[in-house]
Structure 1
Amino acid sequence: MIDPDASVLLESDDLRVQLLPLGATLCRFEVRLADGSWRNIMLGAPDVDAYRGPNRYIGATVGRVANRIAGARFLLDGTEYRLDANEGPNTLHSGDDGYDARDWTIAGRGPDWVEFALTSPDGDGGFPGTLRLTARYELVPGGAQVTYRGTTDAPTVVNLTTHPYVNVAGEASGTTDDQVLVVHASRFTPTDADGLPTGEVRDVAGTAVDFRAGRRLGDARDGVQAEGIARNRGLDHNFVVDGTGLREHCRLTSADGVTLTVVSDQPALQVYGGEHFDGTQVGTSGVPYVRRAGLALEAQGFPDAPNHPTFPSIVLRPGEEYRHTTSWLVSLASS
Structure 2
Amino acid sequence: MKVDDMPALCIGLPSGVRAEILPFGATLHSLQVPDRSGVLGNVLVGLPDPNAYKRQRSFRGATIGRFANRIAGAGFTLNGERHTLSANEPPNCLHGGTDGFDRRKWEVVAHWMSALTLRLESPDGDQGFPGALSVEADFVLTPPATLSITYRATVSRACPVSLTSHGFFNLSDGGPIDDYMLQISAQHFLPVDTALLPAGAPQSVSGTEFDFREAKVLLRRKSSGYDHCFCLEPTEELREIATLYDPKSGRELRLSSDQTGLQLYTDKRADAAPAVCLEPQAWPDAPNRPDFPDAVLRPGETYLNRIEFAFSTRDN
TM-score w.r.t. length of structure 1: 0.88
Write the distance in 2 (CA, Å) between the matches of 1:50 and 1:178: 30
Q: Which amino acid aligns with 2:231?
A: V
Q: Find the residue that maps to 1:51 and give its secondary structure.
A: helix
Write the distance in 2 (CA, Å) between the matches of 1:140 and 1:241: 26
Superposition pairs for residues 1-335 of structure 1, below 5 Å?
6-12=7-13, 13-54=15-56, 56-141=58-143, 142-170=145-173, 172-173=174-175, 175-222=176-223, 233-242=224-233, 244=235, 245-256=237-248, 257-275=250-268, 277-279=269-271, 289-290=272-273, 293-334=274-315
Which 5+ residue runs of structure 2 have no aligned equivalent? none
Which 5+ residue runs of structure 1 have no aligned equivalent? 223-232, 280-288
Please identify runs of 4+ aligned residues in structure 1 that moved more than 4 A: 2-5
Q: Find the residue that maps to 2:117 and give its secondary structure.
A: strand
Write the distance in 2 (CA, Å) between the matches of 1:243 and 1:91: 25
Asked if structure 1 preserves the Cα contact closer than 8 Å seen for 2:197 and 2:285, the reply is yes
Asked if structure 2 preserves the Cα contact closer than 8 Å seen for 1:145 and 1:328, the reply is yes
Asked if structure 2 preserves the Cα contact closer than 8 Å seen for 1:179 and 1:216, the reply is yes
Asked if structure 1 preserves the Cα contact closer than 8 Å seen for 2:36 and 2:251, the reply is no
Aligned length: 310
1:169-214 C-alpha deviation (Å, 9 max, x unpaired): 12x22x3111111111110011111111123110000001101111
1:19-41 C-alpha deviation (Å, 9 max, x unpaired): 00011011111112343421111
Q: Percent identity?
A: 39
1:35-68 C-alpha deviation (Å, 9 max, x unpaired): 3421111111111222134452000000000100
Asked if structure 2 preserves the Cα contact closer than 8 Å seen for 1:157 and 1:316, the reply is yes
Shift in CA distance, 234/321, structure 1 to aligned 2, threshold 3 Å:
same
Asked if structure 2 preserves the Cα contact closer than 8 Å seen for 1:199 and 1:308, the reply is no
Write the distance in 1 (CA, Å) between the matches of 2:112 and 2:54: 27
Shift in CA distance, 7/198, structure 1 to aligned 2, threshold 3 Å:
same
Write the distance in 2 (CA, Å) between the matches of 1:70 and 1:29: 34
Write the distance in 2 (CA, Å) between the matches of 1:168 and 1:3: 29
**How far is 1:156 from its partner?**
1.1
Q: Which amino acid aligns with 2:257?
A: S
Write the distance in 2 (CA, Å) between the matches of 1:205 and 1:81: 37
